[in-house]
């Protein structure tokens, strides 16, 4: 490939738990290859070394929740040739987007002794709401193999392979037995984006939907099946309102289920 | 070819005879609440006394009243898992002093003995052979794996609620394509197997099992058990003229109805014993010194599967379900000279929302429409 210098990698954090950044450090066996292939120019979770932009690749974790975040992401975008969001917070607003369904100022007043110290936006929104994003890595947290695939693909100048189909296809590939069919366990796998390798169903748990909506999710049909399995609408709404609560198909389905749940109450 | 009868205790010597000639014995075993296909160490791993209850979108294992070893219907796994595995490395390439060195994936397959292959699944292997071996291009990986297997078929005496092999003409009795075919005879204090050899190799295995000559009564008992099984199929599919019928009703409202229920999750295609679609994926190392090309199971229910430059050919769930069903029941006849469906019922049982291909076909059959079959074929 005749690279003259190593590409500069920066890892940025917004409102998040750091888990996705840690997936990079979790690469263990591959970590030396990573630092051999790229120059880690900014990654406070891993090193105090900090070099100025521009950066060839910025990995962005977390959602935008403050005015300062909006300014910071704009600066990062300008300094980055490629910007890739990592994880459910950065791609869908994260678990903290649950605030979007309520008045955040009520939370602030209830939680903090001095609410006037807190300056926050009404909503937790994904990075792509504010700046153009070149690629999104799903998951809560992301899968380290997907991260390595992203880096390898960008370094080789090829398109990364990230299937957008259901978790079911991964589940069947690994030979797991469908928990919904064989055990009656409610599972979000059929409407959830692949990427995790179907970890939960392989351990006899229903999918929690960490990777958000798949390419063409039929949430209504799955909801009917969950109802037949005995899951009340309010519980269906809760299952959809987790890490990807603000992702449109999950949000709409949860809203519909929540409304149906209210109708049912005496 | 020999037909003999051996006692239940004869299964273990049979497995031992197989173990002498094969690297692995693959057969049914209970795991994760289902009767799956996996490596078998001895007859103790076989699901003696187990059975299953299968309905659209529902599968449960349970106990039988007897100790029948093969008293259950097709499970979640199909044999394609071993012949056309979910992830196959086609090749690896390395940079070596300025040159690219290519190295093929595994070329010497494991020798597998398949034990407990149902007649529907034998029919599926025959279909896969047509797809992979009898077209203009032969799949060398499949060919090598296929040539290395041995088959002990087991005729089906316990069809499930979603089975319809009798109406597809593929079961419950195995016609050909096996080394040995067993029929389990259980009840009234009897637990024996009628064993028909289908090859010299199968006869050789049978020679290592203590057995007696099959009497007319034994043969009659087996025939009766299989006749009863044919009458207990949970479903049927009227395949007569079905291909043309589907081509004639490509715009039928039934497709909208099924699309409203279809999750486009792909489960039906992955449990299907004949669905063969794959994608090809390239991987490269971080430093760029090596790369790999993989072939992985894919599904026509994935939107990406129909992506060509500029967009998706089958963007809607409606078009994807229609593609799958018309290909399976109509297009395969044109392409491979056979239906793609063997009536195993897996797609019905393992659809998370219980979509039933026999029911969908019945809806179309009840419909009027304009002939399109000729147009499509021309």
Please tell me the distance from the alpha carbon of residue B48 to that of residue B44, in angstroms, as a whole number: 8
**For chain B, what percentages of helix, strand and coil (3-state, to nearest 5) are there?**
35, 25, 40
In the predicted model, is pLDDT for residue B146 greater than 70? yes
Mean pLDDT, range A1-16, rounded to an integer:
85
pLDDT at A266: 53
Are residues B27 and B53 part of one domain?
Answer: yes
Please tell me the distance from the alpha carbon of residue B340 to that of residue B331, in angstroms, as a whole number: 8
B231, B264, B299 — which closes off a domain? Answer: B231
Q: Is residue B236 part of a domain?
A: no
pLDDT at B349: 98
In the predicted model, is pLDDT for residue B173 greater than 90? yes
Are residues B192 and B142 part of one domain?
Answer: yes
- What is the least distance, in Å, from the CA of B104 to any CA of chain A? 22
Q: How many CB pairs under 8 A join A and B?
A: 144
Please tell me the distance from the alpha carbon of residue B202 to that of residue B126, in angstroms, as a whole number: 19
**For chain A, what percentages of helix, strand and coil (3-state, to nearest 5) are there?**
45, 15, 40
Residue A81: phi, psi to the nearest 5? -70, -45
B183, B207, B231 — which closes off a domain? Answer: B231
Identify all chain B residues contacting A174, using CB atoms and an 8 Å cutoff.
86
Are residues B259 and B168 part of one domain?
Answer: no
Burial (CB < 10 A; 0-12, 13-18, 19+), residue B99, is exposed
| Cβ pair A156:B301 closer than 8 A | no
Please tell me the distance from the alpha carbon of residue A149 to that of residue B290, in angstroms, as a whole number: 13
Mean pLDDT, range A238-254, rounded to an integer:
97
| pLDDT above 90 as % of chain B | 93
- ω into A179 cis (within 30 of 0): no
Please tell me the distance from the alpha carbon of residue B17 to that of residue B152, in angstroms, as a whole number: 12
Sheet holding A55-61, edge to edge: A39-42, A8-13, A55-61, A80-86, A135-137
Can you give the C-alpha Rg of chain A in angstroms? 20
Res. A261 pLDDT band, cuts 50 70 90: confident
Are residues B286 and B222 part of one domain?
Answer: no
pLDDT at A187: 98
CB neighbours of residue B117 within 10 Å: 24
| Cβ pair B287:A178 closer than 8 A | no
Say if residues A115 and A109 touch (Cβ distance below 8 Å).
yes
Q: How many residues does chain A have?
A: 266
Domain count within chain B: 2
Which residues lie across from B182 on neighbouring strands?
A: B154, B195
Q: Please enumerate in sequence order all residues whose Cβ is within 8 A of that of B126, keeping only pairs 6 or more positions apart, or say none.
A: B177, B338
pLDDT in tens, B67-123: 999 999 999 999 999 999 999 999 999 998 889 999 999 778 899 999 999 999 999
Identify all chain B residues contacting A222, using CB atoms and an 8 Å cutoff.
263, 352-353
In the predicted model, is pLDDT for residue A255 greater than 50? yes
pLDDT at B27: 98
| Cβ pair A168:B270 closer than 8 A | yes
Mean pLDDT, range A115-135, rounded to an integer:
96
Would strands B24-31 and B112-117 be described as parallel, antiparallel, or unpaired? parallel
Q: Which string of b and e fits B241-277 if b means at least 16 CB within 10 Å? A: ebbbbbbbbbebebbeebbebbbbbbbbbbbbbbbbb
B209, B231, B253 — which closes off a domain? Answer: B231
- Tokens 């699309």 -> residue: B259
Identify all chain A residues contacting B353, using CB atoms and an 8 Å cutoff.
221-222, 224-225
Please tell me the distance from the alpha carbon of residue B265 to that of residue B260, in angstroms, as a whole number: 13
pLDDT in tens, B332-365: 999 999 999 999 999 999 999 999 999 999 999 9
pLDDT at A53: 85
In the predicted model, is pLDDT for residue A135 greater than 60? yes
Q: Is residue B372 part of a domain?
A: yes
Q: Please enumerate in sequence order all residues whose Cβ is within 8 A of that of B211, keeping only pairs 6 or more positions apart, or say none.
A: B4, B5, B6, B10, B195
Are residues B249 and B224 part of one domain?
Answer: no
Are residues B249 and B226 part of one domain?
Answer: no
CA dihedral B142, B148, B152, B155 (to 10 degrees): 20
Please tell me the distance from the alpha carbon of residue B17 to that of residue B9, in angstroms, as a whole number: 14
DSSP class of residue A96? Answer: G
Res. B370 pLDDT band, cuts 50 70 90: very low
DSSP A108-129: HHHH-S-GGG----S--B-GGG
Mean pLDDT, range A150-173, rounded to an integer:
95
**Which residue in chain B is spatially nearest to A151 when comparing CA positions?**
B286
pLDDT in tens, A34-68: 989 999 999 988 888 888 889 999 999 999 999 99
Interface test with B, best of A177, A184, A202 (most B CBs within 10 A): A177
Res. B376 pLDDT band, cuts 50 70 90: low
Burial (CB < 10 A; 0-12, 13-18, 19+), residue B310, is exposed
Which residues lie across from B144 on neighbouring strands?
A: none
Q: Where are the alpha helices (DSSP H) in B74-152?
A: 80-83, 119-133, 140-147
Ramachandran region of residue B366, left (φ > 0), alpha (ψ -120 to 50) or beta?
alpha
Mean pLDDT, range B231-246, rounded to an integer:
94
Res. B237 pLDDT band, cuts 50 70 90: very high
Please tell me the distance from the alpha carbon of residue A31 to that of residue A202, in angstroms, as a whole number: 27
Say if residues A130 and B264 touch (Cβ distance below 8 Å).
no
Are residues B62 and B181 part of one domain?
Answer: yes
Least Cα distance to A221 among B256, B351, B263, B316 occurs for: B263
Res. A29 pLDDT band, cuts 50 70 90: confident
Nearest to B317 among A174, A181, A218 (CB): A218
Identify all chain B residues contacting A165, using CB atoms and an 8 Å cutoff.
265-266, 299, 301-304
pLDDT in tens, B288-326: 899 999 999 999 999 999 999 999 999 999 999 999 999
pLDDT at B373: 54
In the predicted model, is pLDDT for residue B371 greater than 60? no
**Which residue in chain B is spatially nearest to A205 when comparing CA positions?**
B32
pLDDT at B378: 52
Are residues B134 and B183 part of one domain?
Answer: yes
- Tokens 């390898």 -> residue: A152
Are residues B225 and B246 part of one domain?
Answer: no
Show the tokens assigned to B273.
């014993």
Are residues B146 and B66 part of one domain?
Answer: yes
pLDDT in tens, B15-39: 999 999 999 999 999 999 999 999 9
pLDDT at A50: 83
* Residue B18 lies in domain: 3-231
Q: Which of A158-162, B162-166, B264-268 has the lowest mean pLDDT?
A: A158-162
- What is the least distance, in Å, from the CA of A229 to any CA of chain B? 11
Q: Please enumerate in sequence order all residues whose Cβ is within 8 A of that of B135, keeping only pairs 6 or more positions apart, or say none.
A: B336
Taken in order of first residue, the domains within chain A and their CATH numbers are 8-156 (3.40.50.700), 167-264 (no CATH)
Interface test with B, best of A3, A153, A168 (most B CBs within 10 A): A168
Say if residues A138 and A191 touch (Cβ distance below 8 Å).
no
Q: Is residue B184 part of a domain?
A: yes
Q: Is residue B348 part of a domain?
A: yes
- pLDDT higher at B1 or B262: B262
Are residues B226 and B247 part of one domain?
Answer: no
| Cβ pair A218:B262 closer than 8 A | yes
- What is the least distance, in Å, from the CA of A149 to any CA of chain B? 7
Provide the mean pLDDT of chain B.
95
Provide the mean pLDDT of chain A.
94
Show the tokens assigned to B28.
């049914």
Are residues B320 and B183 part of one domain?
Answer: no
pLDDT at B181: 98
Q: Is residue B55 part of a domain?
A: yes
Q: How many residues does chain B have?
A: 378
pLDDT at A28: 84
Residue A40: phi, psi to the nearest 5? -80, 105
**Terminal C-alpha separation, chain B:** 46
């Amino acid at each position: 490939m005749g690279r003259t210098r190593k590409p500069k990698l920066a890892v940025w954090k917004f409102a998040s738990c750091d888990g996705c950044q840690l997936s990079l450090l979790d690469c263990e066996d591959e970590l030396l290859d990573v630092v051999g292939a790229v120059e880690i120019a900014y990654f406070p979770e891993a090193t105090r070394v900090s070099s100025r932009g521009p950066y060839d690749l910025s990995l962005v974790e977390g959602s935008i929740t403050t005015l300062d975040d909006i300014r910071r992401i704009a600066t990062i975008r300008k300094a980055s040739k490629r910007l890739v969001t990592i994880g459910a917070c950065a791609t869908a607003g994260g678990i903290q987007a649950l605030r979007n369904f309520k008045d955040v100022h009520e939370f602030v007043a209830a939680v903090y002794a001095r609410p006037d110290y807190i300056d926050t936006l009404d909503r937790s929104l994904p990075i792509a709401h504010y700046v153009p994003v070149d690629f999104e890595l799903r998951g809560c947290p992301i899968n380290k193999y997907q991260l390595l695939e992203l880096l390898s693909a960008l370094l080789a100048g090829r398109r990364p392979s990230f299937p957008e189909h259901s978790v079911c296809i991964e589940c069947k590939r690994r030979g797991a037995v469908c928990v919904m069919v064989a055990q009656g366990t409610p599972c979000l796998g059929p409407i959830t984006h692949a990427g995790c390798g179907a970890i939960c169903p392989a351990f006899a748990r229903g999918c929690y939907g960490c990777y958000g909506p798949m390419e063409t999710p039929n949430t209504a049909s799955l909801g009917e099946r969950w109802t037949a399995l005995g899951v009340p609408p309010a519980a269906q709404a809760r299952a959809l309102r987790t890490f990807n609560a603000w992702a449109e198909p999950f949000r709409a389905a949860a809203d519909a289920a929540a409304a149906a749940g209210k109708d049912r109450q005496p | 070819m020999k037909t003999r009868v051996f006692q239940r205790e004869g299964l273990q010597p049979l497995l031992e005879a197989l173990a002498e000639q094969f690297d692995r014995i693959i057969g049914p075993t209970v795991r994760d609440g289902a009767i799956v296909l996996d490596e078998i160490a001895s007859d103790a791993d076989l699901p003696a006394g187990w059975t299953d209850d299968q309905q659209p979108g529902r599968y449960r294992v349970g106990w039988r009243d007897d100790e029948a070893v093969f008293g259950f219907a097709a499970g979640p796994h199909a044999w394609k898992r071993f012949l056309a595995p979910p992830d196959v490395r086609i090749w690896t390439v390395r940079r070596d002093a300025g040159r690219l060195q290519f190295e093929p994936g595994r070329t010497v397959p494991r020798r597998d003995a398949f034990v407990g292959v149902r007649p529907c699944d034998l029919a599926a292997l025959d279909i896969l052979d047509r797809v992979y071996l009898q077209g203009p291009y032969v799949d060398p990986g499949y060919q090598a794996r296929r040539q290395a297997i041995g088959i002990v078929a087991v005729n089906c005496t316990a069809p499930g609620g979603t089975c319809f092999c009798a109406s597809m003409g593929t079961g419950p009795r195995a016609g050909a394509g096996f080394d040995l075919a067993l029929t389990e005879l259980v009840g009234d204090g009897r637990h024996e197997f009628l064993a028909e050899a289908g090859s010299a190799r199968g006869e050789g295995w049978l020679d290592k099992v203590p057995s007696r000559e099959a009497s007319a009564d034994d043969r009659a008992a087996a025939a009766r058990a299989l006749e009863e099984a044919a009458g207990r199929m949970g479903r049927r599919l009227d395949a007569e003229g079905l291909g043309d019928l589907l081509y004639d009703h490509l715009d039928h409202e039934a497709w909208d109805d099924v699309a409203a229920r279809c999750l486009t999750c792909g489960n039906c295609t992955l449990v299907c014993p004949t669905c063969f679609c794959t994608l090809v994926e390239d991987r490269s190392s971080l430093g760029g010194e090596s790369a790999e090309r993989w072939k992985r199971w894919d599904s026509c229910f994935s939107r990406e599967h129909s992506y060509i430059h500029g967009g998706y050919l089958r963007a809607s769930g409606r078009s994807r379900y229609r593609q799958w069903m018309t290909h399976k029941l109509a297009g395969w006849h044109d392409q491979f000279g056979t239906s793609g469906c063997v009536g195993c019922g897996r797609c019905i049982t393992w659809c998370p929302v219980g979509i039933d291909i026999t029911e969908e076909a019945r809806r179309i059959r009840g419909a009027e429409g304009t002939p399109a079959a000729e147009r499509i074929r021309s």
